[in-house]
Amino acid sequence: MPATVTDPAWTGVVLAGGRSSRMGRDKAGLPWHGKPLLHHMAYLLREAGASHVAVSGDYPELDGIPDTERDLGPLGGIAGVAAALPDGPLLIVPVDMPMIAAPLLATLATSDARCACYRDHMLPLRLQLDARLRDWLPEALRLPPNRRSLRALHAAQDGVFLPLPEHAAAQLDNLNTPEQWQEAAR
């Protein structure tokens, strides 16, 4: 269900700072129903009720927030966003999840939990941006790569798992390879 005027304002964040190495080209610019994938994901966040949409990645035309350090994965992107945005609820989506529907995003965004995601899926992620998160991120970015994860973030921020409606599982598919892209674009 879309957010209502009584819901607190929240910011949508599109994670688009990765290398897209499995795709072989920048996923953010891939065409999805006539527009770049990055624009589609920003549109979905607005449709779900985001009061503002930020982009984690070097996209000046969309006021993108470049990662302060490269190759730190999603946590690196979240750290960059945390340094640039004010406190408040965030809903973080990857750029490569175009089949998700706005109502599924809105349900997650308006959760009362400090940190929440759907069971068996770390993204999309509802996350409270505040001093506690900002204090944890620098420490987390120094962890070895196998421990620097969204799962670690979820645990450290008292994350909860929301049940995913059975009909919605395919909405959370990531499109990481040309083969996955071609299959989804049919």
pLDDT in tens, the chain (186 residues): 444 444 579 999 999 976 665 665 678 888 888 999 999 999 999 999 999 999 999 888 888 999 877 889 899 999 999 999 999 999 999 999 999 999 999 999 999 999 999 999 999 999 999 999 999 999 999 999 889 999 999 999 999 999 999 899 999 988 878 788 778 777
User: pTM of this prediction?
Assistant: 0.91
**Tell me, what's the pLDDT at 25?**
62
Task: Give a yes or no: residue 173 inside a domain.
Answer: yes
Task: Give a yes or no: residue 41 inside a domain.
Answer: yes
Q: Which pair of tokens denotes residue 107? A: 């349900």
CATH code for the domain in which residue 170 is found: 3.90.550.10
Task: Give a yes or no: residue 5 inside a domain.
Answer: no
Task: Give a yes or no: residue 62 inside a domain.
Answer: yes
Domain that holds residue 101: 11-181
- Residue 127: count of CB within 10 angstroms of its CB: 26
Q: Report how many domains make up the chain.
A: 1
**Tell me, what's the pLDDT at 13?**
98
Task: Give a yes or no: residue 27 inside a domain.
Answer: yes
Task: Give a yes or no: residue 38 inside a domain.
Answer: yes
Under a CB-based contact definition with an 8 Å cutoff, are residues 65 and 55 in contact? yes
Q: Which among 16, 10, 22, 18 is positioned nearest to 37, based on CA atoms?
A: 16
- Residue 120: count of CB within 10 angstroms of its CB: 9
